[in-house]
């Protein structure tokens, strides 16, 4: 008599798409993306890690930032010199009309104040860069300001070809578009979270930091039956 705990390994060929997951809800623009021909069910964590890594690689180096600050300072100093010369001309020959004199004096005074404040901020930024205490951006604005995969495409940080070709981004796909929201087993209507919230969760859960060593996780979700 065969054992009731005996395990048989079999391979089954299915004639329709099959994914073995836990039945959690899938949300459009967060867990899947639709185009005219295909529904792509994606690994949103891996997609956002890739986008973050590309954003990080685009950021200027410390030396480049310091060079930009030097250019800004040079422009501000030229602007300050023009302001000093304008004030000197005003003092030598102020308008006779009291209203015009007051307006011009106010304009020159405001310009001088703005230049001083901008120079102060610039020098503070440079001091922070040189000392290594400059604040880092936890969530890139390009990701925070966008709410889903389609918007992420607009930033250039992600393309549909990435989803199709980079291992780990695509869980599975269908050749016909699906509904607005699915479960991993069947259709299910619900309010979906926005992409920025998903990215915030990614940052909180995985501790995404400014590091060139960020990697893309392994493919998840695709499974056969044996």
> What pLDDT does residue 222 have?
35
Average pLDDT over residues 180-198: 42
* pTM score of the predicted model: 0.50
**Tens digit of each residue's pLDDT (9 = 90 or more) over 116-163:** 999 999 999 889 888 876 665 556 666 666 668 888 888 888 898 999
Read off the pLDDT band of 214 (50, 70, 90).
Answer: very low
- d(CA 64, CA 82) in angstroms, rounded, equals 28
Q: Tell me how far the alpha carbon of residue 208 is from its chain's centroid.
A: 12
How do the domains of the chain map onto residue ranges? 62-131
For residues 159-177, give the mean pLDDT.
83
Region 44-60: mean pLDDT is: 85
Tell me the pLDDT tens digit for each residue of 57-116.
888 888 888 899 999 999 999 999 999 999 999 999 999 999 999 999 999 999 999 999
The full DSSP string for 150-196 is HHHHHHTS--HHHHHHSTTTEEEEESS---SEEESSSB---PPPPHH
């Amino acid at each position: 008599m065969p054992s009731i705990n005996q395990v048989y390994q079999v391979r089954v060929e299915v004639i329709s798409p099959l994914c073995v997951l836990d039945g959690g809800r899938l949300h459009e623009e967060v867990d899947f993306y639709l185009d005219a021909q295909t529904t792509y069910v994606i690994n949103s964590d891996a997609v956002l890690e890739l986008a973050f890594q590309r954003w990080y690689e685009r950021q200027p180096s410390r030396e480049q930032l310091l060079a930009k600050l030097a250019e800004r300072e040079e422009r501000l100093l030229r602007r300050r010199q023009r302001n000093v010369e304008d004030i000197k001309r005003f003092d030598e020959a102020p308008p006779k009309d009291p209203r015009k004199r007051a307006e011009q004096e106010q304009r020159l005074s405001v310009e001088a104040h703005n230049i001083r404040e901008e120079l102060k901020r610039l020098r503070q930024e440079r001091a922070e860069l040189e000392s290594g205490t400059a604040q880092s951006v936890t969530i890139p604005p390009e990701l925070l300001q966008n709410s889903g995969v389609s918007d992420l495409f607009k930033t250039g940080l992600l393309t549909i070809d990435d989803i199709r070709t980079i291992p780990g981004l695509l869980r599975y796909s269908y050749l016909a578009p699906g509904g607005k929201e699915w479960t991993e087993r069947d259709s299910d209507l619900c309010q979906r979270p926005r992409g920025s919230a998903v990215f915030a969760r990614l940052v909180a859960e995985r501790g995404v930091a400014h590091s060139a060593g960020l990697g893309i996780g392994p493919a998840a979700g695709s499974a056969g039956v044996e």
